[in-house]
Structure 1
Amino acid sequence: MSESEHHGASIELENLTKRYPGSPQPAVDNVNMEIKAGEVVIFVGPSGCGKSTTLKMINRLIEPTSGRIRIDGEDVTDMDPVKLRRRLGYAIQSAGLFPHMTVAQNIGLVPKMIGWSKARIASRVEELLDLVGLDPGEFHGRYPRQLSGGQQQRVGVARALAADPPVLLMDEPFGAVDPITRDHLQDELIRLQHELHKTIVFVTHDFDEAIKIGDRIAVLRERSHIAQFDTPEAILTNPADDFVSGFVGAGAALKRLNLTRVRDVEITDYPTVTIDDSLQEIFNRLRSSGTNEILLLDKRRRPYKWLRRGDLMRARGSLARAGTLVSDTVTRDATLRDALEAVLTDNTGRVAVTGRRGEYEGVVDMETLMNSVQELLEADRLEALEAQHELEDSRSEVTHAEQEGGAGGQKA
């Protein structure tokens, strides 16, 4: 059995409270919540509402003033906090890697502390690097300063998963990277969760990120009071009050694009050539394809450039300056919103879909995306009409009952 086949654990928070000395109000006040095993729950709320404090109380980086924490039914409130933390993965913003340790040493830290053998640690490090999409041979011996922000975050997630904990706590883990890298890291987390089925508690202030990643979202007011705890669909279509509506913001129908994945729509093939093909072969392929452009793949079959007919005419024997670099790609786990943004920033009217190692798998075009938007808007319109009819029916029933009651009184 693979070491990463252990699944998630349930979490219960019972009357969880944190008071700081000298402060008139508690930072977190009487939180009660049940999180199912294998579920991704997002804490979202304004800055200072206590969402990170609540998260840190689960692994007791912050000690609760009162209340209980149960993991898989076991009360961990009085457990040795160091032992507890070794059972829970923890990933934070900017990865928090130790700069003097290599990638392998960072990932192997907790397994080493709990007594795993060197061979088992080495095997686990290789497995995890592969799992988070980093080549073990290439990254094993690097130091954090030699990695991009996105690569550091991947290593941070790998380190959090190293000892195969049932629970993964994530405190704004993708908040410090650029938007494109952030989208790709979110997709990677969704893909990982399909494989690992951990229980993930994830803090963010970004509602779009919450919709994209969460099975359920806890919208928190100040002191971590729960305004609504429900599925993304339910919160988008039925916000509990004005506070939640404010978080959802305008364009709820368009936000629902975050609930549909690229894998749910038609991914079409597109004419491709590779960088090793001759200019004549590329020209012949373009001519026979019936399209005005063709996708050039690099040596690893990753999308590299869009080539138009005119580009080839001007190439003069070399593709070095010809064509337009592919500015963005999406994976099958990306949302339709990600795909739409990628298409709008690329002048080709389509976006390339890639596999876990960046290899080309097909394209999604603007027409497919716009059809999906239309379907969502139509579904919203029908839902609103149904709700209106139900309201009218219930009003007419009330009126009818009142009239019946009035008639009965007159007869009497």
Structure 2
Amino acid sequence: MSETATATSTATATASTAKATTGATIELENLTKRYPGSPNPAVDEVNMEIKAGELVIFVGPSGCGKSTTLKMINRLIEPTSGRIRINGEDVTDMDPVKLRRKVGYAIQSSGLFPHMTVAQNIALVPKMVGWSKSKIKSRVEEMLDLVGLDPGEFRGRYPRQLSGGQQQRVGVARALAADPPVLLMDEPFGAVDPITRDHLQDELIRLQHELHKTIVFVTHDFDEAIKLGDRIAVLRERSHIAQFDTPEAILTNPADDFVSGFVGAGAALKRLNLTRVRDVEVRDYPTVTVDDPLQDIFNKLRSGNTNEILLLDKRGRPYKWLRRGDLMRARGSLARAGTLVHDTVTRDATLRDALEAVLTDNAGRVAVTGRRGAYEGVVDMETLMNSVHELLEADRLDAVEHQHELEEQRAEHTHREQEGADTGGEERA
């Protein structure tokens, strides 16, 4: 079979699997964990309902019990009391090993087995549940493609031969391999650098759009929670729920001072994490490839409306920004010409990610990429700043409206007090 046919077949299989995959409801009822010798429970009677296909974030201070609560869902930690229901089925008394095969689990630093290849790591759970060799092989290819890794390049590698970001992608692929309805993620991106972390977050958002799993995700980073979550559970000590709501509701109407402390200053700018690159204009930009003749590249630079073009590599990924005069100064060699593209964003990236990339690059634009880093367009500073101004103006109008509501309430309260005073005076008379 040709590479094109294989790619088409894999894409079709991935698409059909994505359509067939749905999440499951999760209900926690009075879930409690006590450790011997401790006067207080680590987790104290947590009650929560998570909808099928929802991405819910547990966020809270260190030691508040968020990871313990997560691990009780697949019973890596056994609850002391309370019930856990997945799709209505009480799993509290189920064989925990069987339960874990039905619940995907991804952790910080990926947790890959170092003596196994990438393919063997991903195949682990499907093999345990008795899938055929042909089905497992097909699923490994599908999962690698789904997380943006070329199966031909990565299936035979060992974890030590991967970057931190690649290891985390394989960890997610392994967690999804047996097609579980529920995926638990315990600070999975906490051990990678900020740029890689942003890209992994974007990848998770893209995967969730395709798969509609029920995902419970633990983090201590509130910005990450805003970016990823359909709903956020802000947890106090012993996993007491301070607020369980959408990111917009928590940003605009925190329940109390504890939640406000997590929101922090600059709530309007944090709302940049709620708007995606796909929601704003992604412009086309003049491009050339490394395979184009040098004269064609030179002519396009000289005749274009912009003073630079974007050079793409053999796979169509952003490689270098070329400006007029670069080829002349580099004596016609692409190896020495231009400026390397240091950062890109996907359409699932937030406007905050895009703004940080633009400011870091200091050139007023950032390239937008799709699956496996292929170029899709450019977002510029003007577009991003217009969006920031719109958010700030919306916040200003909300504040004015809120102030008017308070004034009306005060006026109504004063009017009632006056009526009461008048009525009392008449009765005395």
**TM over 0.5: same fold?**
yes
Matched, 1:99 2:114: yes
1:335 pairs with 2:354: no
4+ long deviations beyond 4 Å: none
Query: 1:182-203 deviations in whole A, cap 9, x for unaligned?
Result: 1000000000000100000000
Aligned partner (choices 268, 272, 278) of residue 293 of structure 2: 278
Aligned to 2:5: none
CA deviations over 1:146-184 (Å, ceiling 9, x no partner): 111111100000000011000000000000011111100
Which residue does the alignment assign to 1:85?
A: 100
Q: Distance in 2 between matches of 1:288 and 1:259?
A: 39
Secondary structure at 2:373 match in 1: coil
Following superposition, the deviation at residue 3 of structure 1 comes to 3.9
Give me the whole-angstrom Cα distance separating, in 1, the residues matched to 2:258 and 2:51. Answer: 26
Identity over aligned residues, as a percent? 88
Structure 2 CA distance for aligned equivalents of residues 282 and 347 of structure 1: 24
Match of 1:235 in 2: 250
Q: Counterpart of 2:189 in 1: which secondary structure?
A: coil
2:235 corresponds to 1:216: no
Q: CA deviation at 1:39?
A: 0.3
Partner of 1:190: 205
* Secondary structure at the counterpart of residue 397 of structure 1: helix
**For the residues of structure 2 that align with 1:28 and 1:148, how far apart are their CA atoms?**
35
Q: Which residue in the other structure is 1:166 paired with? A: 181
- CA shift for structure 1 position 286: 1.4
What TM-score does the superposition give when structure 1 sets the normalisation length? 0.99
Match of 2:8 in 1: none
Q: Shift in Å at residue 297 of structure 1?
A: 0.7
Partner of 2:166: 151
Counterpart residue identity of residue 172, structure 1: E
Which of 290, 303, 318 does residue 288 from structure 1 map onto?
Answer: 303
What is the CA deviation profile of residues 279-334 of structure 1, one whole-angstrom value per residue up to 9, with x for unaligned ones?
Answer: 22112111221211111111111100111113122021211111110010000000
Query: What CA distance in whole angstroms lies between the structure 2 residues aligned with 1:344 and 1:141?
Result: 39
Structure 2, gaps ≥5 residues long: 1-12
Tell me the SS of whatever aligns to 1:49. coil
The alpha carbon displacement at 1:402 in A equals: 1.4
- In the TM superposition, what is the alpha-carbon distance from 1:389 to its structure 2 partner? 0.4
State whether structure 2 residue 295 is matched by structure 1 residue 245.
no
Partner residue, 1:9 = 24
Residue of structure 2 in register with 1:126 after alignment = 141
Determine helix, strand or coil for the equivalent of 2:144: helix
Q: Secondary structure at the match of 1:383?
A: helix
* Root-mean-square deviation (Å): 0.9
Residues 12-411 of structure 1 mapped to structure 2, 5 A cutoff: 12-411=27-426
Deviations 1:384-405 (A, max 9, x none): 1111100100110111111112
Query: What code does the residue aligned with 1:171 have?
Result: D
The code of the aligned residue for 1:211 comes to: I
Compute the displacement of 1:88 (Å). 0.2
In structure 1, the gaps of 5 or more residues are none
> How many equivalent pairs are there?
412
CA deviations over 1:362-401 (Å, ceiling 9, x no partner):
1000000000000000000000111110010011011111
What is the identity, as a one-letter code, of the residue corresponding to 2:119? A
Choose 271-280 or 185-194, whichever is displaced more.
271-280
Tell me by how many angstroms 1:8 deviates: 0.4
Q: 1:9 Cα shift?
A: 0.4
1:201-258 deviation digits (Å, cap 9, x = unpaired): 0000000000000000001111111111100000011111111111111111110000
